[in-house]
Amino acid sequence: MSHPVIGAIEARRTTNLFDPSRQLDDAQIQELIRLATTAPTAFNLQNWRFIAVRTAEAKARLRAQAWDQTKVTDAAVTFIVCGQLADHRVMPERLAPSVEAGFMPAAMVPGWEGAAKSLYFEQPQRQRDEAIRSATFGAGTLIHAAQALGLGSAPMIGFDAEAVARAFDLAADEIPVVLVAVGHATSENWPQKPRRPLAQVLSLV
Ligand SMILES: Cc1cc2nc3c(=O)[nH]c(=O)nc-3n(C[C@H](O)[C@H](O)[C@H](O)COP(=O)(O)O)c2cc1C
């Protein structure tokens, strides 16, 4: 029998049809995001925010900006996974728990902050790239956490990013990177689609 993590990776598929009668409670939503935020980010920046769209009003508001996709209102919750422009100035705060836990020497923090500054300071493209990367890792971990908890998920890029940012009051440094619908899948969903042959996508050098 395969390892449960491999089982979840292999069984995951994009859920198109959700059971609209089944909700998730706040504790389940919190557990999904607790797991999602175990994903790695550069310098442990954690430059992300997850907006759990779960009320009828908020779902309708999001669906109107998301190509009218039925999943947004049928799924128990649709997360707006936001990336935040990378900013080296948050590093001391983000690293403090690692120092307090006793494994990261406090003297290392300025070095990490300096490295982050050299990468991102006055580099808007890199700041944005890191926002997209962090949110994408978070979304990837979220969909596998959902799978492991017996839930279906659907990543979605079919939405108007500027309209979503306005409708959900995103800050100026926040980008709505991807929507992830999560809920109970119905039995009619397609399986995971076949993938391109390994020989086309893997280069052994
Ligand atoms: C970044 C991204 C954006 C996507 N956007 C949408 C979307 O807006 N609507 C949708 O129905 N599916 C969307 N999908 C789902 C893909 O179509 C799906 O992952 C792909 O066909 C592979 O299917 P599988 O995950 O079931 O194997 C998106 C997937 C990704 C990764």
What tens digit of pLDDT does each residue of 59-83 get?
999 999 999 999 999 999 999 999 9
Give 200's contacts (C-beta < 8 A, 6+ positions apart).
Answer: none
User: Which residue stretches of 121-174 are H helix?
Assistant: 124-148, 161-167
Distance of alpha carbon 138 from alpha carbon 175, whole angstroms: 14
How far away, in angstroms, is 130 Cα from ligand 1 center? 22
What tens digit of pLDDT does each residue of 41-58 get?
999 999 999 999 999 999
Q: Is 105 in the pocket of ligand 1 (CB under 6 A)?
A: no
The percent of the chain in helix, strand and coil, each rounded to the nearest 5, is 50, 15, 35
The model carries a pTM of: 0.97
What's the number of CA atoms in the CB half-sphere (13 Å) around residue 6? Answer: 3
CATH no., domain 4-201: 3.40.109.10
Distance of alpha carbon 10 from alpha carbon 134, whole angstroms: 23
Does residue 111 register a pLDDT over 80? yes
pLDDT above 70 covers a percentage of the chain that reads: 100
What pLDDT does 2 receive?
84
Distance of alpha carbon 90 from alpha carbon 84, whole angstroms: 11
How far away, in angstroms, is 40 Cα from ligand 1 center? 22
Does residue 1 register a pLDDT over 80? no
How far away, in angstroms, is 158 Cα from ligand 1 center? 9
Q: Is 192 in the pocket of ligand 1 (CB under 6 A)?
A: yes
Residue 61: both structure tokens together: 């508001």
Q: Is 178 in the pocket of ligand 1 (CB under 6 A)?
A: yes
How far away, in angstroms, is 114 Cα from ligand 1 center? 38
Distance of alpha carbon 20 from alpha carbon 1, whole angstroms: 33
Give residue 94's Cα distance to chain centre: 18
Q: Is 43 left (phi over 0), alpha (psi -120 to 50) or beta?
A: left
Q: Is 64 in the pocket of ligand 1 (CB under 6 A)?
A: no
Asked if 78 contacts 64 with a C-beta cutoff of 8 angstroms, the reply is no
How far away, in angstroms, is 153 Cα from ligand 1 center? 10
**Least confident span in 8-12, 73-77, 160-164, 173-177:** 8-12
Beta bridge partners of 156: 179
How large is the average pLDDT for residues 130-140?
Answer: 98
Distance of alpha carbon 83 from alpha carbon 74, whole angstroms: 25
Question: Taking the domains of the chain in order of start, what are their residue ranges?
Answer: 4-201
